Chain A
């Protein structure tokens, strides 16, 4: 059997690192469809999965890719799909089924410029709100945003772990530049923590498929053929999994699949703070935009400006408490992102007028010029004085 964890130091791009992260996490089924700039994930994992006893299947479209990923998960294996742009739109239907049926799996989106076919080979971060609200109805979401190939590897593993703990499809919202960027990736088996799927603790007959534990997450998931005779449905259902079409069942189920994320938000959210202690302005950013913002941070500090950075490793659920606290002591926030202003809306909602919030939008096709971010910082400081 081939090795699941490629111990050592590698030179690989972000897409390949996602594939290696998935294999390391125990992924045994990848169902996907070719699309730029995601294809290197599928290419790499089509080489790797047969070596480790898994199956790579190229589906007929992204609709079926997401559906087959869910089917794989219910067979008892860890499953993943990956896509970009238009493919992400097609996956929204069965992403919703995954949310409704609380199916652990991973969906990676290597974002490109949109809408529609947009910029197939060039960067964008315009799917961040779609990640939160893309499928119809209400549900909670976990979305992670890597800023490097190293982090693509690590956060793909983290996505698998979170999907098993909180029982939902977890999104990795990477982008074309991170996906195609080649960098050093260190893989140290001792630093890798893998969460395995929790099996039911009760025997068939006593076990209830959707009975939540104290953390609001269902306790244990039987695989196909385990003897539990599960009924899994996209209809609103009770704890047995049986369809119940009324407002009471909706109140219980729909609220829980949102609240299981917000109830556990402190355990889920990960951010990185840089130079925030004395900061008067904080850059809030994520993914590739955090790399350009880091340049802007250094340029601003060289000018003597008191600037810090809050990098959202977890974009969803949104780290409201952290930003709310910062808003009490800073002049403002600057939010560079490669879209026309998406996550900045969350910052505005959270800050609620307590500090300035300045969007630094970019329609896509390239990354920000750090000087534009510095200029936004200077304007916030000028407004404050």
Chain B
């Protein structure tokens, strides 16, 4: 029988050390509600490091989220943050973004929120090229409500409402984003924290509708029901199956058991934003005075 180990007390020297990203977090709201092994903590950390590298503050960036595990992200960020209704984060963010042209609106939400109940808002915001960055943490199921299958659950995988295995075709999110008109589309797994951060930095710098999918473990629900193991096992699975294919056609980036996890930057193609076109085709064409809240046109 192995000897019982005692928890190691934190060395005294660490007690006064602050996490370098504390400035971006509402420390009075931590600890967060997310499970051990979930990819959401990693995602949130990546976002704060991305903000830090770009030297962005609450004067530049605000966060909108919907409902679900990922929906709680807004509440932990020390920025103007808006935790809206289920599926409506992008719709709310659209109103916020078109009236805040000098700022970047970031939507952080889950696969069910953004692509089931909120799917229509996603494709239309991408089509309009509204200036917002969407980070989707895709954990292949509804975690908050207990592990029901969702719009990204691969065929054959189990959920609490797919007891015999899911038989609905899932969305391929980068393909959906690219075909809806997003100017930047990338996918990484939460294992690749550095690349997630780099993709977030790129997405935040692109004017218009940019999208990053972060494939993430849900050991409590999806992982357990599909015998993937704990969070670490799922990360190991990512390590063994991930293939980087920058610039590849996202049409071929379907996810599912037995398939490779295709990651990388699929789209990086600037297009005029909603407000660029509004300014050019409505305001300037009709010689309306330039409104105060529209940005100077980039030359």
* Residues A47-71 near B (CB distance < 8 A): 50-55, 57, 59-61, 63-64, 67-71
> Distance in Å from the Cβ of B21 to the closest Cβ of chain A?
15
* Residues B1-55 near A (CB distance < 8 A): 26, 28-29
Give Cα A327 to B96, complex, Å. Answer: 48
Take A29-B95, A79-B95, A79-B99 as given contacts and tell me if A74 and B288 are in contact as well, using a CB distance cutoff of 8 Å.
no
B148 CB-CB contact with A under 8 Å: no
Write out, one digit per residue, whether chain B residues 56-88 have a CB within 8 A of any chain A CB (1) or not (0): 001110101000000000110011111111001
The dominant DSSP class at the A interface is mixed
A2 CB-CB contact with B under 8 Å: yes
B100 CB-CB contact with A under 8 Å: yes
Q: Which residues on B sit within 8 Å (CB–CB) of A96?
A: 85
Query: By CB atoms of chain A within 10 A, which of B78, B91, B124 has the most?
Result: B91
| A232 near B83: Cβ-Cβ < 8 Å | yes
| A71 near B120: Cβ-Cβ < 8 Å | no
| A225 near B95: Cβ-Cβ < 8 Å | no
A224 CB-CB contact with B under 8 Å: yes
| A228 near B80: Cβ-Cβ < 8 Å | yes
| A31 near B95: Cβ-Cβ < 8 Å | yes
Number of interface residues of A (CB under 8 A): 47
| A229 near B79: Cβ-Cβ < 8 Å | yes
**How many A-B residue pairs lie within 8 Å, measured between CB atoms?**
149
* Residues B267-298 near A (CB distance < 8 A): 275, 278, 282-283, 286, 288-294
* Residues A189-222 near B (CB distance < 8 A): 222
> Distance in Å from the Cβ of B94 to the closest Cβ of chain A?
5
CB-nearest residue of chain A to B96: A71
A77 CB-CB contact with B under 8 Å: yes
| B62 near A224: Cβ-Cβ < 8 Å | yes
| B293 near A28: Cβ-Cβ < 8 Å | yes
B93 CB-CB contact with A under 8 Å: yes
Query: By CB atoms of chain A within 10 A, which of B28, B95, B278, B282 has the most?
Result: B95
> Distance in Å from the Cβ of B117 to the closest Cβ of chain A?
9
> Distance in Å from the Cβ of A26 to the closest Cβ of chain B?
13
Q: Which residues on B sit within 8 Å (CB–CB) of A227?
A: 58-59
Take A60-B124, A71-B94, A72-B95 as given contacts and tell me if A229 and B58 are in contact as well, using a CB distance cutoff of 8 Å.
yes
> Distance in Å from the Cβ of B144 to the closest Cβ of chain A?
12
> Distance in Å from the Cβ of A238 to the closest Cβ of chain B?
11
B206 CB-CB contact with A under 8 Å: no
Range class of the B interface residue count: 35 or more
Give Cα A345 to B59, complex, Å. Answer: 50
Query: By CB atoms of chain B within 10 A, which of A61, A228, A234 has the most?
Result: A234
Select which of B92, B98, B289 is within 8 A of A55 by beta carbon: B98
> Distance in Å from the Cβ of A237 to the closest Cβ of chain B?
9
Q: Which residues on B sit within 8 Å (CB–CB) of A234?
A: 83-85
| B95 near A224: Cβ-Cβ < 8 Å | no
Q: Which residues on A sit within 8 Å (CB–CB) of B26?
A: 231
Give Cα A53 to B124, complex, Å. Answer: 24
B121 CB-CB contact with A under 8 Å: yes
Q: Which residues on A sit within 8 Å (CB–CB) of B79?
A: 229
Q: Which residues on A sit within 8 Å (CB–CB) of B278?
A: 50, 55
Give Cα A337 to B59, complex, Å. Answer: 50
| A224 near B80: Cβ-Cβ < 8 Å | yes
Q: Which residues on B sit within 8 Å (CB–CB) of A134?
A: none
B225 CB-CB contact with A under 8 Å: no
Q: Which residues on A sit within 8 Å (CB–CB) of B96?
A: 71-72, 74-75, 224
Chosen A-B contacts, 15 in total, with CB atoms closer than 8 Å, are: A50-B278, A50-B288, A54-B291, A55-B278, A60-B121, A64-B120, A69-B95, A71-B94, A72-B99, A75-B95, A76-B99, A225-B58, A225-B100, A231-B83, A243-B83
Which residue numbers of A lie inside 8 Å of B, CB to CB? 1-2, 28-29, 31, 50-55, 57, 59-61, 63-64, 67-77, 79, 93-94, 96-97, 222, 224-225, 227-235, 242-243
